[in-house]
Amino acid sequence: MDEKIVALYVRVSTGYQVDKDSLPFQKKELKSYCEHMLHINKKRIEVFEDAGRSGKNTKRPAFERMMEKVKSGQVSHVIVYKIDRITRNLVDFSLMYDDFKYNNVTFISLNEQFDTSSAIGEAILKIILVFAELERKLTSERVKDVMIGRAQNKQWNGARVPYGWDWDAEKKCPVHSEKEAPYAKAMYQMYLDGGSSVTICDYNNSHNIPTKRGGEWTSKTVADFLRNPINKGDYRYNYRESARGKKKSDDEVVYIKDVFPPLIDPKIWDEVNRRMDANSQNRNTSVFHPIRKRCNVFAGLMICGKCGSGYQVKGKDSRKGDGFRPSSYACTGKYQKKNCDNLNVSDVKIGPFVLNYIAAMVDASKSRRFIKDCESLERVILSHVSFSDVVGISASSLQDTLDLLFGRSGSELLSGNPISSGATDESKTTELKEKLQRTDRALERLKKAYLFDDDGMDEKEFLEMKSKLEIDRIKLENSIKGLASSSISENVDQAAFLKSASQFLISHKINSGDYIDYSRLAALDEDSMKAFVNSIIDHIVVLDKRITEIVFKNGLTHTLLYR
């Protein structure tokens, strides 16, 4: 017990209390109590201080640090000047006091003078907490009533002024911003001229027009600005639960007309908002409106080759003669500050390429007895008619694939579709497991050498070696799993690999070696097509409507070269 600390917790909630020496007073009284009443050695005392923090919840740095020590068994006493210094919430106190009891911590409050070691002391403590919480709620209600009263009297309640407005300290109200007002008016005009929240967002970011906080615009920040009634001179208060919380009911909202000089002609504001309401009902408020209840096969798989952003679904094209409705995708960098000009792409271009490339890889695994080197491997893959505009595949991509085909690496050619090398005996598995153990030991030795050897390697060398060993480890694990798996190219296991008749058809087409009509298969079942592609492809890189890189689930990367 003598080795445990005595925690003195002090808190004030406002700068006024801090300036009036409330904290020093609390600390002085608590230390005096420890010295003269409990006869505690000063070395055991530790002060936990939260200045300017509210007691309505326990999200306070010093309090959380103290509770960590309580839970780790380092504290014998927790002492406060008043019970409401530590919490005013009965639920929070109950949880905290459970931790005190579990860890044999004595809780003392100087002002209330109670002893928690007795049942009466605990009961009195909880009664005090009930009234402390009641006081906090009554105070909150009084503050809310005052703020609503101020709003009804057309007085600003201190919130951040919106875009297009500045705060006038003398008048104590928002006024038109000389810097932002022209841009604000231009946004309304752009919407009237047929624009949307997305096109306005795109314009602002591409012309380096910052938001109120200096960040980038989004379609939501544009829409919120256009919707704000202060721009036509009306004052709206108590509109949401919090800054970004849910909207309150109309009877709770304070709405007063003609409080401020209008930034925008009220007729223009009304027309813009009427159009926004109509567009919202027609579900076309932006080109990136989410496509619901429809499957977009390559959503989440594409990365822009120019700016590195992901691609988003732009929409569904009109239905083709075979019933297929291809999705179209656009780089999200176009609508951010990057202002990317990479071209949009469609399933019409991406789908046939990806599916036939997977088929080409399977064809290569079936024809590996005819493949002698990287050049012959490249010919097999590019022999498919779908790749007529591809000049070649990078040398490193071909070499890695060649290593996989002939078992010179511990991974599979296609994740989810392992290529069997014929070595499925127990001795091969044992050998791979031993290699895996050696790799684990090498990783441990490498970490120790880097952390504890003063004359060891530098950080870059350590990270390079660590990355190589971790890749080797993944390959070994995949190889061990692959020994027990059947090959899609040699022995398609319908029960394990295929989950539906649609996926069976996809698999059958891939194994056939014929050109695959992507639109026909996707029209039958896009969900199965999406599941199939996602089981094999990690991501693809797109540049000017061409796939420049395909990364498979097992980490194999193919870089494609074009004329």
Among residues 243, 259, 281, which one ends one of the domains?
281
Mean pLDDT of 407-424: 46
pLDDT bracket for residue 337 (50, 70, 90): low
Handedness of CA 282, 286, 287, 289 (dihedral sign): negative
Three-state DSSP class for residue 232: helix
pLDDT of residue 196: 85
User: How far is it, in rounded angstroms, from Cα 479 to Cα 477?
Assistant: 5
SS3 of residue 55 by DSSP? coil
Distances (CA, A) of 331 to 221, 223, 288, 520: 20, 21, 11, 26
Predicted confidence band of residue 489 (pLDDT cuts 50, 70, 90): very low
- The reported pLDDT for the residue numbered 381 is 84
Give me the pLDDT at residue 215, please. Answer: 81
pLDDT at 283 over 60: no
- C-alpha 542/C-alpha 563 separation (Å) is 15
Find residue 312's DSSP bridge partners. 330
Q: With 80 as the cut, is the pLDDT of residue 205 above it?
A: yes
Same domain, 24 and 82: yes
Lowest mean pLDDT among 327-331, 353-357, 429-433: 429-433
The residue that leads in pLDDT, 544 or 409, is 544
Angle (CA) 82 85 86, round 5°: 110
- The arithmetic mean of pLDDT across residues 19-31, rounded, is 78
- Which helix or strand (DSSP H or E) is residue 316 part of? strand 311-316
- pLDDT recorded at residue 386: 66
Per-residue confidence (pLDDT) for residue 339, from 0 to 100? 75
| End position of a domain, from candidates 243, 264, 281 | 281
155 is a domain residue? no
On whether both 113 and 26 belong to a single domain, the answer is: yes
Mean pLDDT of the 98-118 span: 79
Position with higher pLDDT, 224 vs 92: 224
CA atoms of 450 and 442, how far apart (whole Å): 12
* Average pLDDT taken over every residue of the chain: 76
Last residue within a domain, chosen from 147, 175, 210:
147
**Residue 548 and residue 544: Cα distance in Å, rounded?**
9
**What HEC string does 127-178 produce?**
HHHHHHHHHHHHHHHHHHHHHHHHHHCCCCCCCCCCCCEEEECCCCEEEECC
Task: Count Cβ atoms below 10 Å from residue 281 Cβ, excluding itself.
Answer: 9
Confidence band, pLDDT 50/70/90 cuts, at residue 484: very low
Q: Specify whether 12 is located in the same domain as 127.
A: yes
Q: Would you state the pLDDT for residue 429?
A: 75
* Highest mean pLDDT, choosing among 40-49, 445-454, 518-527: 40-49
Q: How far apart are CA 72 and CA 120, in angstroms?
A: 28
Residues 6+ apart with CB under 8 A from 102: none
> What's the CATH number where 215 sits?
3.90.1750.20
Taking the CA atoms of the chain, what radius of gyration do you get in angstroms? Answer: 34
SS3 of residue 236 by DSSP: strand
> Same domain, yes or no, for 205 and 102?
no
Spatial contact of 313 and 546, defined as CB atoms under 8 Å apart? no
Which tokens hold the place of 480?
């061990």
Residue 485 is predicted with a pLDDT of 42
Would residue 343 count as lying in a domain? no
Range of the domain at 191: 165-281
pLDDT band at residue 199 under the 50/70/90 scheme: confident
- Dmax (CA) for the chain in angstroms is 93
- Per-residue pLDDT at 390: 84
* Single-letter residue type at 308: G
Q: Evaluate whether residue 557 is within a structural domain.
A: yes
- Residue 499: what pLDDT? 41
Residue 394 domain flag? yes
Least confident window among 253-257, 490-494, 547-551: 490-494
Tokens of 548: 């420049």
User: Do 403 and 363 reside in the same domain of the chain?
Assistant: yes
pLDDT at residue 375 greater than cutoff 70: yes
Q: Which residue has the higher pLDDT, 330 or 291?
A: 330
What does the alpha-carbon distance between residue 227 and residue 277 come to, in Å, rounded to a whole number? Answer: 10
Dihedral of the alpha carbons of 319, 320, 323, 329, in degrees to the nearest 10: -60
The residue type at 413: L
392: its two tokens: 């070649």
Average pLDDT of the residues in 432-438: 80
pLDDT of residue 421: 37
- Which range among 289-293, 300-304, 434-438, 444-448 has the greatest average pLDDT? 300-304
Q: Token match 């239905």: residue?
A: 319
From residue 308, give the alpha-carbon distance in Å to each of 235, 290, 342: 43, 22, 11
* 53 and 137 together in one domain: yes
For residue 331, pLDDT over 80 is answered with yes
Which helix (DSSP H) or strand (DSSP E) does residue 506 occupy?
Answer: helix 501-512
- Confidence category of residue 18, pLDDT binned at 50, 70, 90: very low
Helix (H) or strand (E) holding 358: helix 347-366
Between CA 474 and CA 481, with CA 480 as vertex, the angle to 5 degrees is 90
pLDDT at 207 over 80: yes
Asked, for residue 251, whether it belongs to a domain, the answer is yes
Share of the chain above pLDDT 70, in %: 68
Residues 102 and 65 in one domain: yes
Shared-domain flag, residues 14 and 78:
yes
Whether residues 511 and 370 share a domain: the answer is yes
The reply to whether 341 falls in a domain is no
Task: Kindly state whether residues 269 and 384 are assigned to the same domain.
Answer: no
Structure confidence at residue 451 as a pLDDT band (50, 70, 90): low
pLDDT exceeds cutoff 80 at 109: yes
Nearest to 81 by CA among 152, 9, 131, 17: 9
pLDDT attached to residue 464 = 61
For residue 138, is pLDDT > 90? no
Written as one letter, the residue type at 440 is D
For the cut 90, the answer to whether the pLDDT of residue 7 exceeds it is: yes
Residues 29 and 143 in one domain: yes
Position 337, amino acid: K
Query: Is the residue at 139 inside a domain?
Result: yes
Residue 248 DSSP class: P
Given this model, what pLDDT does residue 226 score? Answer: 93
List, in order, residues 6 or more apart from 467 with CB less than 8 Å away.
none
Residue 316 placed within a domain: no
Statement to judge: residues 128 and 192 lie in one domain: no
Maximum average pLDDT range among 8-12, 252-256, 385-389: 8-12
Amino acid residing at 541: V
Q: Give CA–CA dist 309/332, Å, rounded.
A: 6
Q: Compute CA distances 449 → 453, 464, 471, 473, whole Å.
A: 5, 14, 20, 19
The answer on pLDDT for 502 being more than 60 is no
pLDDT greater than 70 at residue 20 = no
Count the domains in the chain: 3
CA–CA dist 342, 550 (Å, integer): 18
Beta bridge partners of 537: 552
What pLDDT does residue 75 have? 93
Which of the pair, 232 or 121, is modelled with greater confidence? 232
Residue 90 — pLDDT band, cuts 50, 70, 90? low
Q: What are the tokens at 354?
A: 């990806």
Give the range among 192-201, 335-344, 348-357, 414-423 with minimum mean pLDDT.
414-423
DSSP letter, residue 107: E
Mean pLDDT of 478-482: 63
pLDDT at 356: 85
Instruction: Give the integer Cα–Cα distance in Å for 297 and 326.
Output: 9
Over range 431-454, report the average pLDDT.
71
**What's the predicted TM-score (pTM) here?**
0.40
**CATH at 39:** 3.40.50.1390
Beta carbons of 240 and 273 less than 8 angstroms apart: no
Share of the chain above pLDDT 90, in %: 10
